[in-house]
Amino acid sequence: MKQSEQVIEWTVLEHGQWELYVAKTNKGLCYIGSPASSFEEFKAYFAKRYPAFALIENPETLAPYVQELTDYFSGAKQTFSLPIDVKGTPFQEEIWRALQAIPYGKTVSYSEIAERINRPSAARAVGSAIGANPLLILVPCHRVIGKNGAISGYRGGMELKRFLLDLELQKT
């Protein structure tokens, strides 16, 4: 490892039939993968964002994050307390903050998010920013649905999105 490399520690979270790559920087959790993503896709995500990085498998340092996610999946936890480290454009980061304000068990539409950030005509741009969210679940993009109430696209796949929405609706 070179001194200028960004160290990214990772592990695999297993839950039922799903395996999710989970990664953190020294500042906090930075990535939660999709159930169907490969290790090559996982590496490609970081290659696009860091000029130099080192992926180090380290289940021990990610254990607190894995535990919080496992507790969430089991319905025992509704909020997350560990630090996150998400990086995007200023617009993406604004959207991701708006997503974090959506209460557990509630849903909003893309246009509602656009209105919350005072850009009512930006629903499509909001959708693009949501699709680029690197922290599935912790930055709860699964809580965003179509204006007509339809469950629409999700980087984690529709099965995971339905699972997360059903889980939250059962607990509220």
The confidence score (pLDDT) of residue 170 equals 86
Residue 6 · residue 50 · CB < 8 Å: yes
How far is the C-alpha of 131 from the C-alpha of 12, rounded, in Å?
A: 22
Task: Tell me the two tokens of residue 105.
Answer: 């068990």
> Which of 141, 145, 160, 164 does the annotation list as catalytic?
141
Whether 141 is catalytic is yes
How far is the C-alpha of 115 from the C-alpha of 110, rounded, in Å?
A: 9
Residue 160: C-alpha distances to residues 24, 99, 122, 151, 167 (Å): 22, 17, 26, 11, 10
Calculate mean pLDDT across residues 65-91: 95
The confidence score (pLDDT) of residue 5 equals 87
Q: Between 102 and 3, where is the model more confident? A: 102
Residue 62 · residue 20 · CB < 8 Å: no
Calculate mean pLDDT across residues 71-92: 94
Task: Tell me the two tokens of residue 167.
Answer: 């889980």
Calculate mean pLDDT across residues 105-111: 94
Residue 26 · residue 5 · CB < 8 Å: no
* Residue the block writes with tokens 């993406």: 92
* Segment 15-67, tens digit of pLDDT: 888 899 999 999 999 999 999 889 999 999 999 988 899 999 999 999 999 99
Calculate mean pLDDT across residues 91-103: 96
